[in-house]
Amino acid sequence: MGRLVLRRLLATVPVLLLVTAGVFALIHLTPGDPVDVMMAESVDDSVKTTLRRQLGLDQPLYLQYAAWMGKLLRGDLGRSIRNGEPVIENVGRRIRPSLQLAALAMAISLVVATPLGILSAARRNTSVDRFGTTFALFGICMPNFLLALLLIFFFGVKLRWLPISGYLDPFEEGLPGLRSLVLPALTLGLALAAVVTRTLRSSMLDALSEDYVRTARAKGLSESRVIRGHVLKNALIPVVTVLGLQLGTLIGGAVITEYVFALPGVGRLVVDAVFARDYPLVQGVVLLIAIGFILSNLAVDLLYGWIDPRIRHR
């Protein structure tokens, strides 16, 4: 297992290099100048030229990239062009709401999708199965912003049960902070639950048709024991794959959801940085998101070995 982790970590090095180079090229080739965004048109051109020189924006792109990579190797992500603060501090203030939102959305999706997916597969072509497949279809097809608006209308405007915008830290404010995350977490969690329900149902149906399930039933095992002991664990690998990919997306920030509910997360931070042409901040955030994806995929690989010993031995 240790060698597997080491191989995966070594394989991430060229991936991160490609990500940094791609992001650096794309953001610098985007039309617009951060100095023009920061200053009014009436500012003298000599002042803008001096600021570009101070920020290093007058150098060729390859020199700017080399300078940024040199700082990165020292653990320095640079400073924001907008406010002059270190990028790591900007991200540190915004990562906590995004992590809390991702964790709550993931919990909601598992609570909804796990029993629904199992029951849909175990009771195929029944009313429970039809409800599960309908839920999965609507959840996959419905855009996040529309679901967010519907939840705001019913639970925030009509029933007045939950706040419709703003953020309070649950660890500092307790229940009010948790209530501020419920609607955005439901928006993301229900959409993810639809994908997981469909994946789990399909994977379990494939496992139910295997010979070992027929043998287990022939031995006289109850249907619940067959599903718990034989079917479910063998059906988890596709589900874990989906959850690993979605976790990286959630940590990276669901931009639309954060904007609708006015959450100060990473998604809003990177969009605001793109509009401001804040090159160091965009590069730093995207790099950290890429690392989040890599770590979630590494966790998925390790879970594969725990779920299926054959993979661990290979």
Cα 168 to the center of its chain, rounded Å? 21
Among candidate residues 252, 263, 248, 249, the one with its CA nearest the CA of residue 97: 263
* Helix 266-275 / helix 236-252 crossing angle, nearest 10 deg: 50
Residue 257 inside a domain? The answer is yes
Residue 286 inside a domain? The answer is yes
Domain extent, residue 271, equals 94-313
Residue 305 inside a domain? The answer is yes
Running DSSP on this structure, what letter comes out for residue 160? -
Tell me the per-residue pLDDT of 118-173, one tens digit each, with 9 for 90 and over: 888 888 888 888 998 888 888 888 888 888 888 888 888 888 888 888 888 888 88
Tell me the per-residue pLDDT of 174-194, one tens digit each, with 9 for 90 and over: 888 888 888 899 988 888 899
Residue 22 inside a domain? The answer is no
Tell me the per-residue pLDDT of 206-253, one tens digit each, with 9 for 90 and over: 887 777 777 877 877 777 787 777 777 777 888 888 888 777 777 665
Question: 92 or 29: whose pLDDT is higher?
Answer: 92
Question: 64 or 198: whose pLDDT is higher?
Answer: 198
Q: What's the CATH code of the domain at 116?
A: 1.10.3720.10
Residue 221 inside a domain? The answer is yes
Among candidate residues 292, 294, 269, the one with its CA nearest the CA of residue 282: 269
**Percent share of the chain, pLDDT over 90:** 1
Question: 239 or 37: whose pLDDT is higher?
Answer: 239
- Distance set, CA 204 to CA 211, 212, 213 (Å): 14, 13, 11
pLDDT at 36 over 70: no
> What pLDDT score does 33 carry?
65
pLDDT band at 111 (very low <50, low <70, confident <90, very high): very high
Q: How many other CB atoms are there within 10 angstroms of residue 159's CB atom?
A: 9
**In whole angstroms, what is the distance from residue 118 CA to residue 133 CA?**
12
Average model confidence (pLDDT) across the chain: 79
**In whole angstroms, what is the distance from residue 125 CA to residue 196 CA?**
19
Residue 8 inside a domain? The answer is no
pLDDT at 19 over 60: yes
Question: 4 or 41: whose pLDDT is higher?
Answer: 4
**In whole angstroms, what is the distance from residue 36 CA to residue 118 CA?**
56
Provide the β-strand partners of residue 79: 86
Q: Is 59 helix (H, G, I), strand (E, B) or coil?
A: coil
> What pLDDT score does 214 carry?
79
Q: Is 79 helix (H, G, I), strand (E, B) or coil?
A: strand
**Percent share of the chain, pLDDT over 70:** 87
Q: What is the pTM of this model?
A: 0.79
Name the domain count of the chain: 1
Give the tokens for residue 167. Answer: 């953020």
Residue 4 inside a domain? The answer is no
**In whole angstroms, what is the distance from residue 238 CA to residue 244 CA?**
10
- Identify the burial level of 207 via C-beta atoms within 10 angstroms of its C-beta, where 0-12 means exposed, 13-18 middle and 19 or more buried: buried
pLDDT at 106 over 60: yes
**Residue ranges of the alpha helices (H) in the chain?**
2-29, 34-38, 45-55, 61-73, 87-122, 127-141, 144-151, 170-173, 175-208, 211-218, 223-226, 232-234, 236-252, 255-260, 266-275, 279-307, 309-313
pLDDT at 303 over 80: no
Residue 29 inside a domain? The answer is no
Question: 19 or 198: whose pLDDT is higher?
Answer: 198
Q: Is 229 helix (H, G, I), strand (E, B) or coil?
A: helix
Among candidate residues 310, 121, 78, 88, the one with its CA nearest the CA of residue 210: 121
